[in-house]
Amino acid sequence: MSLYNNFDSKADLVEAYLQARQEDWLGLYADRAKAVSGSRALIGAVVDAHLDHTELAYENGFRGCGQLNAAAELPAGHAGRALVRCHKDVVENTLRSHLAALDAGDRINKLTRHLSFLLEGSMAGLAGDGRKLKVAKQLALELGDGL
């Protein structure tokens, strides 16, 4: 009953959860971005913010991307899926802006998708172990080296 004292519906609870996850990531990224300079390092900061998120003290351990896990439980057309897509777009646009600063030229869209897929794949099903994200960061930086 206490859930419904704070939220009008399950959909409202899901929306609040998804918004909180996005705000958490934005804060982690902002902290990482302040600590580095240069577009290449900022690409690394995007990955590091995801790694920081995996290392937060979750009661049952980190079990993959909360955004994707929530979306997997929601039916097509649910407003929560739009929130997840919005968050993923924020991450992609952040990566795109850093690639643009590296002068990725006509490869910017391809590289952005590549980095996004790399990041999503490294987050899927993580069980409190950030090794895949650390490899993803190295691969992302190597892609940036080619510009």
pLDDT digits (tens, 9 = 90+) for 59-78: 666 777 888 888 888 888 88
Query: Can you give the pLDDT at residue 59?
Result: 66
Inter-residue contact 147 to 99 (CB < 8 Å): yes
Domain ranges of the chain: 8-145
Q: Which position has the higher pLDDT, 93 or 71?
A: 93
Query: Can you give the pLDDT at residue 6?
Result: 76
| Residue 93 CB-density burial (10 A; 0-12 exposed, 13-18 middle, 19+ buried) | exposed
* 3-class SS of residue 142: helix
CA distances to 3, 86, 117 from 14, in Å: 11, 15, 25
Q: Over the stretch 2-25, which tens digit does the pLDDT of each residue have?
A: 666 777 777 788 888 899 989 999
* 3-class SS of residue 147: coil
If you average pLDDT over every residue of the chain, what do you get? 86
CATH number given to 8-145: 1.10.357.10
pTM of the model: 0.86
Asked whether residue 122 carries a pLDDT value surpassing 60, the answer given is yes
Inter-residue contact 100 to 108 (CB < 8 Å): yes
Residue 55 Cα to chain centre, angstroms: 14
Inter-residue contact 28 to 49 (CB < 8 Å): yes
Query: Can you give the pLDDT at residue 60?
Result: 66
Inter-residue contact 29 to 94 (CB < 8 Å): yes
Asked whether residue 101 carries a pLDDT value surpassing 70, the answer given is yes
Query: Can you give the pLDDT at residue 126?
Result: 61
